[in-house]
Structure 1
């Protein structure tokens, strides 16, 4: 009996082996020709299209349903169609060639449902996970900058504030998996919230250039940045599907040390995706060739409670800029039936305390002004549930999607003047609840309808404290925002796509949005003595869009789009109290109205047989009732005491109108299948005119900027030699608010601040050793230029070697 057990076990193993060989013999693997990476989602079907199958995340598809004499077709939106005999495909690897350009890419940001990119009348930039892995960004702000159409401002290393077509911060919308990240305290000043999104988890990023208020409501005046994280992969079989990735990265300019791990477990109906990333940054080193105005000759260090002015041993080292960050993501997918999908996402990120570097380089007389100016941990948590239902017999929809989300944002600020014992501490938190219902319906062969509802609720808590660092005693002080205030939005939208023939698409849409805001200033009136104790906003807005996309032939694509958009005042606009600059304080203003944007965009794409592709767009935006910071009076006083300093009173006001115009051009030259040139250039202009007819430059209109890449890709190698460049902004071209920040800028021959032009030369390579191991290496700013991107308080990295090793389980 005992001797028969090994024999039975051996027979069992042989049976499994035979079955495994039999199963294996029915499989085919779909790979990208240039990189040998697996292609997920490739559809394989026979000539009659009666039978079909799809490749999984490893590029594997099962062919058991096809007969041996079938002619099979392999199709994927991003690759050229291949055709093969079943007998040739069994136990084979099929290589697909990528399409030259992504006109057939599917985008989600335009309607929250899948649409072909060629049908959208607006310009949409698509950044894939593959290109993210190659560009190797340290943060999601750097990820956006790599697109070539988004300008990034930085006040400290733990930051990155996007600018798109002359607009920024709370006039741009950020979404994560369809949920808006913008909240009631998103400010008109520079924002750092985008760094809370982990680049390692991004499957795809879509940047819509221009207004997106019809689908997304308030704040989407200048553009929408839509981040879509990885979706858990099911096995669709009885066996477990497992996949994992581990990444280690090091960078020399800030001694970055990053570790990342993600794991996917897939069952027949359930799938789980877990991700963790940790990054530690040291102080950032700037370049050695450039304006001396940027160097850091000295800094303040506090020992045993005593502030000391310290000579910087390395003036190129920006002290202090170090910080660390952790990102966690857990996603769960459940598919009980083919027409039902349930998705759960849990997101958490937090930073350490990090210094606001631009505040630490200000001088008061001949000495540094601040001993410390820190942000506390920037924390973000989101939990969202999304339910998707497909229907073939409903009169109301073909696809319906319900999304519910809860978010919690926490941030704080701590500052103390040199040799002063009093530390000012202000802490804020926002609880945000949102619910969306989005529907899609095919009304006919040529007409498609998208429509939906949205509700948003934000509650703000805020506190202010004065702490004596010598005695440890604390006292209450004015908070940054009115504590307990809330902001609500309810909206209904509809969008229609009409496609009478394959060459012409017309899209139009309308949205009604109603916003209610309540702010209670009772607590802050202990310190401010405002002429009111509470205020509210109750306002509504209609917005609309209409555009056409015309492809008369294979060479020409014409796009035209007209849109209106709006931004309702939020808690930051109506109730903020903060020191905007030395000697100035912003106070609440209860007399605010929404600002409206009216835009036109014209695009032309010329495609000469996929060898030379020229993509151009020009746009114009008129912003009415622009919310800007201007001098103000409080109880008849133009100055008040704030944080022990007599300060000029300012407030956010509807005190201007803005005109923004620009031109974008992109060029792609495909010399061979392996070698290509890619270049993008952006020209932006804008003027802001106040109620008295005074015209000034627009603060967030970036200088002309662009990038040119020469890319070679073949087999396992990918090489990219590229240059980034930025034109000068003279003192006369700077906005008044920027001229007041001379400590951030270089000085011209007259001693006036200006933004010098700059360029960097860079080289990047990636080698795929096998399907499991790849190495990415970048040498950025090869000539070690010392420069600052426009409006940035921190200088950019000097020569920087980045090494990243990825292992796929």
Structure 2
């Protein structure tokens, strides 16, 4: 039915295609908005005309046989004979990604020329997003050089930058930080709560960015920018419809957004519904492990269905319990009474179904599946954010943006073991309040000074409880015997507050030399308390933590000519322990993470160097980046003793929910170093053919004990060949990753060594021995056809040779070969 639905939508879109018309209107091929100031001129440059504010252009000045160039500084140029356009009503120009890439929005929280920014930055433009059409905003980040995305279940996507992951990476949407008091240090999947169809742009900043963004920005920043409607648009109503359908995995994504524009205000309504079926792994096992990742049995249990034994899986390549669905809504209002003042109200809401935790549902104890159910309850995110932007003639307030935000988040974890009727629940409700004020100072053209302030406050409510199932046949008809159990986080209360101020200064010494400098001071306060019945450590009743951090950044950019750029940065970053670091209770693979109230902030000191060489009027380039990071007071998971616990015979174990488990905790383990290199290139072979790619190397280890740092994959990269013309765009990609040996895995379990192939049993310990993650590669092919300026159809063939592999640290096999069909229609 989903496939038929997709075909009907496709034909519905094509039916209403209008190819007639007498006048020509020039529009942006991605957004559909009119493009002003497009210059049209003949090959002798004797006759020319320009598009007006509504994109209309008068071609009557040319004869039918004239060849005419259409050019705009932000778009790719086109050449047509006038007779070829006589039956057209619109002409779509694609943004020039190279030129658009010259503007950076996120580094200093204001607009900057990329050639004057010392940090490494990747920009994913609206054209990149429209070309890739990712299933989630986490998947989109795979298009940024050097960014890896980890998954433990179908509804997953944890970005990794330079070996940093989770709460060492800062996620930001529309200037509002998403990181909060319970962002964890293992794998974090909150990026999927942002609708990729709502995005206009995404930027990735590599390396410490605490001057502009504060705590957590150790490895980098991912800043998502959502679409914004324009007041005064000549077309008062705009509609955009998109539908994606994966024929093998039965993924279906339906999206519509509606824009309404008046003279001084505008509205954008965006809605997406995504249904993701079970994931089928690849069948070609080049790595040689015939049974690795197969799912011979699975659990049919869910909230309402009970079965006391597992079920045989008729197709072991189908990873049962990986499907889920999600709804994403966004509403934006823009009010702009004059060019100097603009108000924006940004409303976003995301809610998923239950998301099965696949890696837990295939976990075995004594050869049998351990869990009948293990799922994340509906994950909900609400954002309400008013923003005011202005320009003035006051020196210290020449430009400014004030952003207020309220976020309400709900998370839950539900589990039940086979052989038990006891269902355990952990529920977290979090309220986050924030205020950002960013200002620019009026200086001369060679200088730029920005400053700002930030305040955030988190209030957490966490509860854990168990209930017994009442079962009739296979139906769960009731839940009884409510009883409190240890909650995931402090059960009585949790508060996390930050206050900060920063200054960022740029000085253009001349056309060749630019200096960037910045400083930020941040104060962080944490308070948490436990109820007596939820304590797991007799020493804990409440805890407080206060810290101050001073961060500095100094960068230099040297441009000897238009073809060379050299960049260097010395920067510091910090991460203040949050409630997840200090107060979490969590079990994984027989290890129980317990609270540690004695944690201190960790700091990163990084040296960065980059060099870029451009060719053919900057349409081609080669870029090399090197970095070295020293982590001080590095926080890692280590064995931890509970001296006053008497639930077991050893201080190194504790009896928790009926199981005797090793106790571990996040601790400050001293210093660690990370270093790496990335090489990126893009070559425009001719007008229609492009070859590009990147390769990355990362290495990290603690200084004292020489223990590997988690989340680091040594080698990864991609290469692609793209071909495009006015109608057709195609890309063949080759994606690869190197081997990760078992001795290079971290000790804390974050890397998931147990998810790799079993190669034997140790004669000394009797425990399994693992191979580590095998190297892998795959080919993808993507094709898009522009039916006309309003309609696009596409097909993506993922994993052409149906290769089986697991991404490093992922608890789920990657998707095998699949065909995805796409339709986009705007009017």
TM-score, normalization: structure 1?
0.89
Q: Tell me the distance in 2 between the aligned counterparts of 1:81 and 1:767.
A: 18
Residue 300 (structure 1) aligns with: 299
Match of 1:287 in 2: 282
Q: Secondary structure at the match of 1:321?
A: coil
The structure 1 residue matched to 2:597, chosen from 555, 566, 590, is: 590
Alignment match of 1:800 (pick from 808, 814, 818) = 818
Structure 2 distance, partners of 1:320, 1:111, is 43
Q: Matches of 2:58 and 2:332 in 1, distance apart?
A: 27
1:731 lines up with 2:731 in the alignment: no
How far is 1:412 from its partner? Answer: 0.3
Go from structure 1 to structure 2 and tell me whether the alpha carbon gap of 1:740 and 1:490 turns closer, same or farther (over 3 Å shift): closer
Q: Do 1:134 and 1:776's aligned partners in 2 also have CA atoms closer than 8 Å?
A: no
- What residue in structure 2 maps to residue 397 of structure 1? 397
In structure 2, the CA distance between the partners of 1:355 and 1:524, relative to structure 1 (3 Å rule), is farther
SS at match of 2:733: strand
SS at match of 1:633: coil
What is the SS of the residue equivalent to 1:535?
Answer: strand
What is the CA distance between 1:735 and its match in structure 2?
2.0
Could you say if the C-alpha distance between residues 717 and 244 of structure 1 is closer, same or farther in structure 2, counting changes exceeding 3 Å? same
- Inter-CA distance 294–444: structure 2 relative to 1 (3 Å threshold): same
2: CA distance between counterparts of 1:191 and 1:317?
A: 24
CA RMSD of aligned residues (A): 3.0
In the TM superposition, residue 774 of structure 1 has moved relative to its aligned partner by 0.4
The equivalent residue for 1:113 is 110
Asked if the contact 1:464–1:476 (Cα under 8 Å) also holds between the matched residues in 2, the reply is: yes
Partners of 2:278 and 2:321 in 1: CA distance: 6
Look up the match of 1:421.
421
Matching of residues 392-471 of structure 1 within 5 Å: 393-470=393-470
1:183 aligned to 2:180?
yes
SS in 2 for 1:293: coil
Render the CA deviation track for 1:147-177: whole Å, top value 9, x for unaligned. 2321010000101000000100000000000
Residue number among 698, 703, 706 corresponding to 2:709 in the alignment: 698
Distance 1:54 1:480 in 2: 60
Distance 1:45 1:133, change over 3 A: closer
Given the superposition, is the C-alpha separation of residues 343 and 645 from structure 1 closer, same or farther in structure 2, using an over 3 Å criterion?
same
Q: Secondary structure at the match of 1:485?
A: strand
- After TM superposition, list the pairs within 5 Å mapping 1:190-339 onto structure 2: 190-235=187-232, 241-290=236-285, 291=289, 292-302=291-301, 305-339=306-340
Cα distance, 1:211 vs structure 2 = 1.2
Check conservation: 1:583, 1:648, Cα contact below 8 A.
yes
Q: Secondary structure at the match of 1:517?
A: strand
Aligned pair partner of 2:509 in 496, 500, 516: 500
Report the CA distance shift for 1:658/1:378 in structure 2 as closer, same or farther (over 3 A).
same
Asked if 1 retains the 8 angstrom alpha-carbon contact of 2:296 and 2:313, the reply is: yes
| Alignment pair present for 1:549 and 2:549 | no
Q: CA deviation at 1:37?
A: 8.3
The residue number in structure 2 matching 1:629 is 637
Closer/same/farther in 2, CA of residues 62 and 336 from structure 1, 3 Å limit: farther
CA contact (8 A) 1:558 1:603 kept: yes
* Cα gap change, 1:62 to 1:270, in 2 (>3 Å): farther
Equivalent in the alignment of 1:21 = none
Deviation string, structure 1 residues 372-417 (Cα, Å, up to 9, x no partner): 11100110000000000111x2021210111000001111001111
Distance 2:371 2:205 in 1: 40
2-side partners of 1:506 and 1:680: how far apart? 28
Which residue of the partner structure matches residue 347 of structure 2?
Answer: 346
What's the counterpart of residue 684 of structure 2?
670
Instruction: Select 1:142's aligned residue among 139, 162, 165.
Output: 139
- Which of 712, 721, 725 pairs up with 2:723? 712
For residues 707-738 of structure 1, the C-alpha deviation after alignment (integer angstroms, 9 at most, x for no partner) is: 11100011110010111111111222222234
Q: 1:490 aligns with which of 499, 502, 507?
A: 499
8 Å contact kept, 1:37–1:771: no
Counterpart CA distance in 2 for 1:635 and 1:206 is 47
| Within-5 A mapping of 1:458-607 | 458-470=458-470, 472-483=480-491, 484-521=493-530, 523-524=531-532, 526-579=534-587, 581-607=588-614
SS of 2:461's equivalent in the other structure is: strand
Structure 1 residues 742, 540: CA separation in 2 closer, same or farther (over 3 Å shift)?
closer
Relative to structure 1, is the Cα distance of residues 466 and 60 closer, same or farther in structure 2, using a 3 angstrom cutoff? farther
Which residue of the partner structure matches residue 4 of structure 2? Answer: none
Stretches of structure 2 that go unaligned for 5 or more consecutive residues are 1-20, 41-48, 60-68, 80-84, 471-478, 645-650, 762-768
Contact 1:611 1:671 in 2 (8 A): no
Distance 1:740 1:596, change over 3 A: closer
How far has the Cα of 1:111 moved from its partner? 1.5
Aligned partner of residue 561 in structure 2, secondary structure: coil
Structure 1's 778 and 217: CA in aligned 2 closer, same or farther, altered over 3 A? same
- Aligned partners of 1:295, 1:358: CA distance in 2, in Å? 12
For the Cα contact (< 8 Å) 2:229–2:259, is it kept in 1?
A: yes
In structure 2, distance between residues paired with 1:331 and 1:142: 24
Match of 1:661 among 675, 680, 683: 675
- Distance, in Å, in 2 between the alignment partners of 1:594 and 1:383 is 30
> Does the C-alpha gap of structure 1 residues 100 and 234 become closer, same or farther in structure 2, counting only changes over 3 Å?
closer
Question: Counterpart in 1 of 2:156?
Answer: 159
TM-score, with normalisation over the residues of structure 2? 0.87
Question: Aligned equivalents of 2:783 and 2:309: distance in 1?
Answer: 45
* Structure-2 separation of matches of 1:611 and 1:659: 36
Q: SS at 2:611's partner residue? A: strand
Name the counterpart of 1:18: none
Deviates more, 1:473-482 or 1:313-322: 473-482
SS of the aligned residue for 1:792 comes to coil
Distance 1:798 1:726 in 2: 16
Deviation at 1:698, TM superposition (A): 1.6
1:266 Cα deviation after fit = 0.2
Instruction: After TM superposition, give the deviation of residue 555 of structure 1 in Å.
Output: 2.0
- The alignment of Structure 1 onto Structure 2 pairs a total of residues equal to 761
Asked if 1:686 is matched to 2:695, the reply is no
**Distance in 2 between the 1:657 and 1:627 partners?**
9
| In structure 1, distance between residues paired with 2:490 and 2:621 | 53
Match of 1:66 in 2: none
Rounded Cα–Cα distance in structure 1 between residues aligned with 2:27 and 2:437: 37
Find the partner of 2:662 among 635, 648, 651.
Answer: 648
8 Å contact 1:283–1:321 — kept in the other structure?
Answer: yes
Q: Is the 2:691–2:721 contact (alpha carbons within 8 Å) kept by the matching residues of 1?
A: yes
- Could you report, residue by residue, the CA deviation over 1:108-134 in whole angstroms, capped at 9, with x for unpaired residues? 111221111111111111111221121
- Deviation readout 1:261-306 (Å, 9 max, x if unpaired): 0000000011000010001111111010123211111112349743
Whether the aligned pair in 1 keeps the contact of 2:97 and 2:125 (CA below 8 Å) is no
8 A contact 2:32–2:826 mirrored in 1: no
| 1:370-389 mapped onto 2 (5 Å cutoff) | 370-389=371-390
1:103 is displaced (CA, Å) by 7.2
In structure 1, list runs of 5 or more residues that go unmatched. 1-23, 47-51, 64-71, 83-87
Aligned partners of 1:296 and 1:533: how far apart in 2?
44
100 and 434 in structure 1: CA distance in 2 versus 1, 3 angstrom threshold? closer
Mark the CA change 1:359 to 1:59 in structure 2 (over 3 Å): closer, same or farther: farther
Cα distance in 1 for residues equivalent to 2:621 and 2:543: 54
